[in-house]
Amino acid sequence: IRAAARPTGGRWPLSRVLDVSDPGALDVRAIVTGGAGFLGSHLCERLLGDGYEVICFDNFLTGRPDNVEHLLVDPRFRLVNRDVNDFIYVSGPVDVVLHFASPASPLDYYELPIETLKVGSLGTFHALGLAREKRARFLLASTSESYGDPQVNPQPETYWGNVNPVGPRSVYDEAKRFAEAVTMAYRRKHGVDTAIVRIFNTYGPRMRVDDGRAIPAFVSQALRGEPITVAGDGSQTRSICYVDDLIDGILRLLHSDLPGPVNIGNPHEMSILDTAKLVRDLCGSTAPITFVPRPQDDPSVRQPDITIARTRLGWEPRTSLHDGLTRTISWFAGQLTESRQVA
Ligand code: NAD
Ligand code: UDP
């Protein structure tokens, strides 16, 4: 299938291949950088389910082997401890390269500013170089942070953004904006078949308890009965998407021929204070809410315009906030029980 059908200079007809009704019969090979992280682990799982052989490169900077331990029994899955800022070598054919390696939680990238800039720049060059060599489709995990603190709400892909290039968040925002620019340069100069997804705030199982992002913080605080830390007065907004919906949108983009950028996220916008109260209620907790200082350049509003995803990919989120949060809370409850038992 693979070598014979791949058009020279054109793109691998993945959409045709994936129409096969028995996914086990497929023989397509994916590289996922950052595959042991929150999103990467869900992505590896879904790709294996769709019939891919998956090689995951991760240096466990912010991810954990535990996230993909359950996949190791599958001979089509391989986990490689590798820093993608170093050259990436893979023998044999590769059909798709999904570049997800990067710290993503603000707490992580404040602590790891240089690592974040390096993986967005050097890591992206290496992942694109691999895609070029193998004539694979390349997908970059970019972010709503490319829009910075937006002055347009909701954000369409045509909005150029409002980023402070020297503020503490710039290590992430500018690394991703640079990664988008490199991706487009490889597309224009080298003809690499590329796609850029701008991912909006996503939540679900396998986020770290100490991740620092709003949902893991609120859920673990509510479950422990500790004060729930709302930044500022909590009037800033976010639009949160359940991980399964996000992965579905990403796979649709991968199997399309769209270059993007395409926003994938849930357009249901809520204030952070209301989000904290909802999480507390769903946890059945009476934990108090405490107001803490707001980080510098924290975006005031965020909502994806998903017109392109709806019309070109036939995608929209399906999981209700209630269902997504309930599943996430029960996963975190399991984690907290496990850590108490270990202690
Ligand atoms: P995460 O921190 O859980 O996962 C990132 C993974 O990348 C980790 O496993 C980490 O160890 C790995 N990694 C980091 N640097 C590396 C390097 N140099 N070499 C190899 N591996 C490296 O974060 P996440 O939430 O799963 O985010 C994954 C990707 O999606 C990131 O690129 C992030 O920017 C993007 N994204 C995520 C969200 C979200 O809401 N989760 C939103 C926008 C964009
Ligand atoms: N936030 C909060 N309390 C926390 C963690 C985050 O109020 O314990 C706020 C944060 O200031 C931001 C929003 O929640 O306004 C979303 O933050 P998160 O770190 O989840 O993602 P971001 O969109 O900032 O990348």
Q: Based on the residue annotation, tell me whether 159 is a catalytic residue of this protein.
A: no
pLDDT digits (tens, 9 = 90+) for 129-179: 999 999 999 999 999 999 999 999 999 999 999 999 999 999 999 999 999
Catalytic residue, chosen from 52, 109, 147, 172, is 172
Tokens of 26: 């497929």
pLDDT at residue number 330:
97
Return d(Cα 38, Cα 79) in angstroms, integer.
Answer: 15
Residue 208 above 50 pLDDT? yes
The stretch 203-224 carries a mean pLDDT of 96
Return d(Cα 192, Cα 199) in angstroms, integer.
Answer: 21
Question: Across the chain, where does the E strand assignment appear?
Answer: 28-33, 52-58, 77-81, 96-99, 137-143, 194-199, 202-203, 228-231, 237-239, 241-242, 262-264, 269-271, 289-292
Ligand in nearest proximity to the CA of 303:
2
The stretch 289-318 carries a mean pLDDT of 97
ipTM, two decimals, is: 0.99
Alpha-carbon distances, residue 270 vs 21, 187, 237, 263 (angstroms): 40, 36, 5, 18
Q: Mutate which of 169, 298, 302 to test ligand 2's pocket (most atoms within 8 Å of Cβ)? A: 298
CA of 70 to the centre of ligand 2 (A): 30
Residue 61 above 80 pLDDT? yes
Return d(Cα 226, Cα 218) in angstroms, integer.
Answer: 9
Return d(Cα 306, Cα 299) in angstroms, integer.
Answer: 19
Q: What is the C-alpha end-to-end distance of the chain, expressed in Å?
A: 52
Q: Using alpha carbons, select from 179, 166, 154 the residue that is nearest to residue 261.
A: 179
CA of 4 to the centre of ligand 1 (A): 34
Q: Using alpha carbons, select from 113, 110, 97, 116 the residue that is nearest to residue 59.
A: 116
CA of 59 to the centre of ligand 1 (A): 11
Number of residues that this document lists for the chain? 343
Q: Mutate which of 31, 32, 39 to test ligand 1's pocket (most atoms within 8 Å of Cβ)? A: 39
Return d(Cα 135, Cα 21) in angstroms, integer.
Answer: 25
Q: Residue 41: exposed, middle, or buried by beta-carbon count in 10 A (0-12, 13-18, 19+)?
A: buried
Return d(Cα 103, Cα 299) in angstroms, integer.
Answer: 18
Q: Tell me which DSSP letter residue 274 carries.
A: H
Share of the chain above pLDDT 90, in %: 89
CA of 332 to the centre of ligand 2 (A): 18
pTM for this prediction: 0.94
From 14-28, 40-54, 103-117, the region with the lowest mean pLDDT: 14-28
Ligand in nearest proximity to the CA of 274:
2
Ligand in nearest proximity to the CA of 201:
1
pLDDT digits (tens, 9 = 90+) for 88-129: 999 999 999 999 999 999 999 999 999 999 999 999 999 999
